[in-house]
A and B are shown apart, each in its own frame.
Chain A
C-alpha cells in the first residue's frame, strides 16, 4: 500500500511542476502584445509569413503569429465551440463565415477607418452573403471563376476568345472535330462540378434568387432548368474520363497542353505554373448567354479579415489589418497569389488575368452561387450525381428537397 502512496505523490509533484511551468509561460516576459492570425489558405502561408515578419519588425510592441492548419474551416468551428476564437481570422466569404458572423463572434468594424479603403462592391457582397448590416469582416482579396485557356494552342488552331454561349459551343465543336480536348474536366472531385454551376447560376438567374429562396418565394425547379441544361451541354466536350480525374490531375494535364480550355478559378494558376512554368495562360469569364454585354465575371471574396469580439487586443488587431490593407502590401500579396485586391486602386498586372480587369473596373462582377447555399445541403455532391445520371427533373427536385430539409432542421 505504501508504495502506491509514494508513487501517487510523485505523480502529484510532477503535475504541480507542469502547472507552474505552464503558468510561467503565460506570464509574458517580453511585454509584447501577442496576436494570433488564423487563416484558411495553405497556398497563402508563405505570402502572409513575409508580411507578418515585416509588421513585427515595424511594431516592436506587437507580435503577430500565423496559424494555418489543414481543414482550417473545421478547426475554426471547433475552436469557436471551445470559446477560443483567434484574435484575427482570415477566411473566404462562404456559408461558414455567414454562420459565424450571425452568431456574433466577430467585432463590428463599420466605425473604424478600415472599410473606407475597400471597394464598396465587396462590402455589399459581404452584406448580401450574411444578410446582416454590421461590417464583421474586411474584404482583402478576391478571386475569379471562369475559363482558362491555353494561349499557344489557341493560336495554333486560329481560335478567338468566345464572347457568347453559341461562340463557346462553336469553339468547343471545332476543337473536338480536330481530335483535341475542348474542356479538361476534373469531376472526380465533387467541388469541381460546381464551378460551371457557380458561373451559370448568378448570370442566368441572379443572386436575388437565393435571397428569395430563403423566404420560400421561388424554387430551383422554376428557375434552374437552363443552368442544368447548359451544364450538361458542356459535358459533351470533355475527355474520355471526366469523372476519373481530380483537381491535381487536371492542373498537371492542362499545364502540359492536354485540353485547350479549363473551367477553373484563378486560384489554380500558381498550381498550373508549378507543373509547367512556361505555359501561356489566358482567362475569360464563362459566356453564359448570347448577350455579350450581359456576361458578368464570377468573383468572390477569397479572404476577408475579421477581429474576434472577445479579444482584449482589438486596437492592435486593427493596426495589423490596416498594415495588410496598405496598397504596397496588398499589391505584394495579390501578385504572389494571382488574386485581385479589394483595396481601392490596387491592380493585378499578371498577363494571364489581363482579360478580366475590365470586368473589375466596370463592376461587372457577381458572387459565387454556392456562397449562398447552406453547407448542409452539400451542393457539390448533388451536382456531381446529376452530371452522372443526367436526370434534370430529379436534380432540381433534389435541390429543393435538400434545401427545405436543411431549413426545417435549423
Chain B
C-alpha cells in the first residue's frame, strides 16, 4: 500500500469506528428497546413486538407534537431565511461601521439557547406586559407565552431571533463569492437593484440558500432547549415539540420503550425531509 493511502486510512477508520460506537450502536439499541415494554430502570422487560408503534399512531399527544413541530419549523425556516438574507445584503453593502454591525448580529449565536430562553421568558412575563399595560394595548398586556393560541408565536420569535445570526454569516460568505465585475457589467447594461438581485445575486448564492434552508429546517424540527426555557411545552401541550415529548415521556414518565419507538419514527421523518429538501433545492441550483 502506498504511504499516502495508509495515512488516509488512519484518519478514516478510527472515525468510522467512533461513529459506529457512539451513534450507530445506540440507534440500533434504541430500535431494540422500542420493541419491548421496558420502563428504563426495572430489571425485567418483555418483548411486545410492534405494540408501541401501533399505540403511537393512536396517541393524540404524538399527533399534537408533530403538528406543532411542523408548523413551528416551517414558519421559523421561512422567517429566518428571509430576514437573514436581508441582513446579509445590508451587511455586505458599503455601509459605515460594517464590522461593528456584523459583530452585533452574530452575538445571539454565541449565547447559550437556554440563557437566551430564560431572559426572554422574563421579558415576556415581566417587561413586555408592563409596556403593553402602559401603552393600553390589551393584546400585549398579558404574557403571550401563557396563552394556548399565542404561545407558539413567542417561541417562534425567540427561535428566529437566535437563528438569524448563523444563517446571516452563511449568506455573507455566499455574497462575498460573487465577483464584483458582474455587478459592474450589469450596471453598464442599466439593470436596477431589484433586477440585479434576482438575476445575479440570488442565483449565485443558491447553494448557500439550499444549505441554509436545510439547516434551519433540521434545527427547528429538533427544537428542544427553547421549549424547555420558555414554556416547558405548555400551556397544556400547546407548544410541546416532538423531542420534548420524547424526553418528558421517556425519562420523566418512565415510558422509555414507548418513546424509543417515537424517536425511531422521528428519525425516519427527519431523514426523509432532509433528503427531499436537498434533492429539490439542488435541482433548482442546476436549473439556474
Select A408's contact among B55, B248, B251, beta carbons within 8 Å: B55
Q: Tell me, yes or no, whether B52 is within 8 Å of chain A by CB.
A: yes
Q: C-beta contact mask, B152-184 vs A, less than 8 Å → 1, else 0?
A: 000000000000000000000000000000000
From the candidates A99, A244, A410, name the one contacting B125 in the complex (CB within 8 A).
A244
Bound-state CA distance A168–B25 (Å) is 59
**Contact status B126-A249, CB under 8 Å:** yes
Say yes or no: A245 contacts B41, CB within 8 Å: no
B109 surroundings in chain A (CB, below 8 A): none
Q: Do the beta carbons of B252 and A73 come within 8 Å of each other?
A: yes
Q: Does A169 contact B (CB under 8 A)?
A: no
Partner of B235, one of A374, A376, A388: A388
Residues 222-252 of B contacting A (Cβ, < 8 Å):
231-238, 240, 248-249, 251-252
Determine if A409 and B125 form an interchain contact, defined as CB atoms under 8 angstroms apart.
no
Q: Are B235 and A243 in contact (CB under 8 A)?
A: yes
Q: Does B141 contact A (CB under 8 A)?
A: yes
B59 within 8 A of A: yes
CA distance A111 to B210 in the complex (A): 69
The yes or no answer to A302 lying at the interface (CB within 8 A) is no
A378 interface residue per 8 A CB criterion: yes
Find the B residue at minimum CB distance from A376.
B253
Knowing A388-B235, A409-B255 are in contact, say whether A378-B143 is a contact too (CB < 8 A): no
Indicate whether A376 sits within 8 Å of B125 (C-beta atoms), given known contacts A80-B41, A81-B40, A384-B235: no
Q: Which of B146, B148, B248 has the most CB of A within 10 A?
A: B146
- From the candidates B37, B232, B238, name the one contacting A410 in the complex (CB within 8 A): B37
| Contact status B234-A74, CB under 8 Å | no
Q: Give chain A residues whose Cβ lies under 8 Å from the Cβ of B249.
A: 376, 378
A381 touches B42 (CB 8 A): no
How many residues in B have their beta carbons less than 8 Å from beta carbons of A?
A: 43
Interface residues of B in 22-54 (CB under 8 A from A): 37, 39-43, 51-52
Total count of chain A residues near the partner, CB < 8 A = 41
Say how far A193's CB is from chain B's closest CB, in angstroms: 9
A353-410 contacts to B (CB < 8 Å): 374-376, 378, 381-382, 384-386, 388-389, 405-406, 408-410
Contacting residues, chain B, for A374 (C-beta < 8 A): 253-254
Supply 16 A–B pairs (Cβ within 8 Å), ascending by A: A74-B252, A77-B41, A78-B41, A99-B39, A103-B43, A188-B235, A190-B233, A240-B141, A241-B146, A249-B125, A374-B253, A378-B249, A378-B253, A385-B235, A405-B55, A409-B258
B residues neighboring A (CB under 8 Å): 3, 6, 10, 37, 39-43, 51-52, 55, 58-59, 121, 124-126, 129, 141-143, 145-148, 231-238, 240, 248-249, 251-255, 258
